[in-house]
Structures are given as C-alpha cells and as structure tokens.
C-alpha cells in the first residue's frame, strides 16, 4: 500500500461501508455540499446512519461541516493533504481487484471499532495502542 493512504481506513476514520461510500461520493464531486437529507436521497440509507457517519467524518477532518438554513451541510475537507489522500483512495477504488481489498480493510476496521466499543470497556481496558497502527 502507498504511504499516502495511511490512516484513512482505520477504526475511527473510514470504518464502515457507508463512510467509504460517502467519502467516495465527495471525492468524485469535490465541489459538492450536502445535507443529511441530500445524502440520504443519493445513497438510500437510513437518515440516522447517514447523519452519524457524516458527523464522524467531519470530526475526523475528512469532511468539513457548516450550518446553512438551520441544518448542517457537509463538504470535502479543504486540507490539501487529506484531499489528495481521498482522491488517491477513490482512484484505487476504481481498480476492481483493489476495490475488493479496500472492502476487506473496511470490514476489518469495522470489526476493530466494534471490539473497541464493546469488549474493551467491559474488560476494563482504556486503549489498545498496538491496534492504532492499523492502516491501509
């Protein structure tokens, strides 16, 4: 894997197929600004799941969030390094073989996130730094 994609697909970043689809949508249309309702119309997913995914992507810095007409609007980050990494991720996704690898990485990140949210607090663990290096 190329170094510029490091950290994108990992727990707390892109760790669900919905987040991947959202990021790829914004990477394909970098000028796009969308509300949760707009994203729901495009992706046909639960509005609550989309709202949560958009907020999480904004919290990681991959998307920016602004208020417009009383509702949050999301767009691709203005940070050049992050934009470049997202554009390269989108190009990698265009390769069918690479796409399967990316799906597998997202599933692994999703499982790791669930583990961190469910198992680790019950076991009294605060963090697992050895897992923080999981990147594509």
Average pLDDT of span 115-132: 60
pLDDT at 79 > cutoff 90:
no
pLDDT score of 16 more than 90: yes
Q: What is the pLDDT of residue 134?
A: 47
- Residue 132 predicted with pLDDT over 70: no
Distances (CA, A) of 2 to 6, 54, 122: 7, 26, 36
- Mean of per-residue pLDDT scores for the chain: 83
Q: What count of other Cβ atoms lies within 10 Å of the Cβ of residue 103?
A: 14
DSSP 86: H
pLDDT at residue 17 is higher than 80: yes
Q: Please, which residues have CB within 8 angstroms of residue 69's CB and are 6 or more apart in sequence?
A: none
pTM of the entire structure? 0.81
pLDDT at 130 over 50: no
**Are the C-beta atoms of residues 8 and 85 closer than 8 Å to each other?**
yes
Q: Please give the CATH number for the structural domain made up of 3-119.
A: 1.10.10.10
């Amino acid at each position: 894997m190329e170094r510029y994609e490091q950290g994108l697909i990992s727990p707390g970043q892109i760790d669900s197929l919905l987040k991947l689809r959202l990021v790829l949508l914004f990477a394909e249309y970098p000028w796009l600004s969308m509300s949760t309702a707009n994203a729901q119309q495009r992706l046909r997913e639960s509005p609550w799941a989309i709202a949560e995914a958009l907020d999480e992507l904004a919290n990681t810095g991959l998307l920016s969030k602004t208020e417009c007409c009383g509702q949050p609007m999301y767009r691709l980050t203005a940070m050049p390094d992050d934009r470049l990494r997202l554009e390269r991720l989108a190009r990698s996704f265009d390769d069918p073989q690479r796409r399967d690898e990316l799906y597998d990485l997202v599933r692994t990140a999703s499982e790791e996130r669930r583990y961190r949210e469910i198992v680790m607090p019950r076991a009294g663990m605060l963090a697992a730094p050895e897992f923080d290096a999981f990147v594509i």
